[in-house]
């Protein structure tokens, strides 16, 4: 009697379709935003307490690591929003065909960073 052994799947070598990548990034972006909430709340409370607290918060937010983290949070918000809208359309049976689903996933993967850069440029332009 021959028993078949389980196959070892190396997850780093599996090529995910764009829909799978969007799904994983959607979950990661949601977790990232939830983890950032306490930090944002603490910074907001500190900024609203005293003028010195506001100055300290402004100094913290102007440092380059925090600016990079805020950029990551902005991408996270935009990706989560776009992937969520895509998922809502899929729930309404819009875009279920494989080519359309693949294209909509690619559009989310391209649009989120594009909108992030556009909002960053608009913020610098209008600041």
Q: Residue ranges for the binding site?
A: 80
**Cα angle for residues 65, 69, 71 (degrees, 5° grid):** 115
Please report, for residues 25, 38, 88, the alpha-carbon distance to residue 84 in angstroms, rounded to integers and kept in the order given. 11, 23, 6
Can you read off the two tokens belonging to residue 67? 């600016």
Task: Give the CA radius of gyration of the chain.
Answer: 20
Contact (CB, 8 A) for 43 and 60: yes
Quick one: tokens of 109?
Answer: 């993967």
Annotated binding-site ranges for heme: 80
């Amino acid at each position: 009697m021959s028993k078949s052994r389980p196959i070892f799947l190396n997850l780093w070598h599996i090529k995910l379709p764009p829909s799978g990548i969007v799904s994983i990034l959607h979950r990661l972006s949601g977790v990232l935003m939830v983890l950032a909430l306490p930090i944002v709340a603490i910074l907001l409370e500190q900024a609203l307490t005293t003028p010195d607290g506001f100055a300290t918060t402004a100094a913290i937010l102007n440092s380059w690591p925090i600016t990079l983290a805020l950029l990551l949070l902005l991408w996270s918000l935009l990706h989560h929003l776009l992937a969520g809208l895509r998922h809502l359309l899929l729930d309404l049976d819009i875009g279920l065909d494989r080519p359309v689903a693949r294209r909509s996933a690619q559009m989310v993967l391209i649009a989120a960073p594009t909108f992030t850069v556009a909002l960053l440029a608009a913020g610098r332009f209008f600041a």
